[in-house]
Structures are given as C-alpha cells and as structure tokens.
Amino acid sequence: MPSEEIAKYAAKLDPQRAAICASLQKSLDAGLPQATSRLWHAIPVWFVGENPVVGFTARKTGVMLMFWNGQHFDEPELEASGSFHMAQIPYNDASEIDEGKLSRWLQKAGTSIWDMTGERNAFVAKRRAAKKPRPVAKAKAKAKAKAKAPTRTAKRKSARPKAKK
C-alpha cells in the first residue's frame, strides 16, 4: 500500500521527474529493507521505527533526496540543509543517480538514525518541567473569586431600571 502511494506521487509528475522518483523508490526499498515507507507531509519518506531516515521531494526542475541524519554521514556530496541534521542532494535526471554512493548512504541512513521522536519528547518534557506550577492555595482562591464574581450580563441587568408594565 505505501509503495502505491509513492507511485501515485510520482505519476503526477512530468516524465523526467517521475523517472527520478521511480529510480529512487526502487533503490530506497532495496537499500533499507527494514524501513517502512509512506507519504509524510505530502512527500515520500522511509522510516526506521518512528524516525524518518530518508525521503525525496519533487522540485520545479528535479528531485531532492534528503537524509534526516545526513550531516553526520561525512559525505561531501550531501549538502547540509536546515538547522537540524538534514543533508540533501539534488537530481535533475535519473542518470545522475550514482548507485554505489546511494547504497553507501543508505547503509549509513539505516544505522545512523537521528532519534527525532525521542529528542522531541525530551524537549517537551524539559519545557513542562521548567514551568512553575501555581501553588494550590492560590489557584483555589482565584477559582473561588472567579466563581463569585457576577458575569457581565448580570451586571448590565442589575444596572438597568425595570420596565413598567
């Protein structure tokens, strides 16, 4: 099923970019047999566990192959991208794909995995721990005061003179 989604993604493209996507899909499936693939944020991505490791996206004139932990691969052909660990390489034609290099990068992608999910969960936990909880007594007093305070409509009604019948 996921391969069908990715094939549909490529089928919507012009023949040149579709050929690049098809070649990459075939190589990624073969090079990462332990990975699962699916469309994620509208692009084809391969996951090991819950963590994305490689994906590609169609650009105006080609396809960008992205490795989520690629900056740690020590591969000069992969360009750093963004403020995290992403590295990428553009392809304008399927003939530009070097299967030997791609195979080496996929081996690294399958073993050098950035634990994005764990890092995000640790960040959220740290942020929550840093927030100072309000003392219970103050919170209860504030809730009581709020409950006793008249609402705006109640204030308006009491300020109006009663109409004569």
84 sits in which H/E element? none
DSSP single-letter state for residue 151: P
pTM: 0.69
Tens digit of pLDDT at every position of the chain (165 positions): 467 899 999 999 999 999 999 999 999 999 999 999 999 999 999 999 888 999 999 999 899 999 998 888 989 999 998 767 889 999 999 999 999 999 999 998 887 666 666 666 777 788 888 886 656 666 666 666 666 666 665 555 555 666 665
The pLDDT, as a whole number, for residue 91 is: 97
Regarding the domain delimited by 2-114, which CATH topology (the fold level of the hierarchy) does it fall under?
Aspartate Aminotransferase, domain 1 (3.90.1150)
Listed in order, the ranges of the chain carrying CATH 3.90.1150.200 are 2-114
The pLDDT, as a whole number, for residue 1 is: 43
CA–chain centroid gap for 27, Å, is 22
- Helix axis angle, 2-11 relative to 15-31, nearest 10°? 160
The token pair at 92 is: 């304008």
Query: Do 51 and 116 touch, CB atoms closer than 8 A?
Result: yes
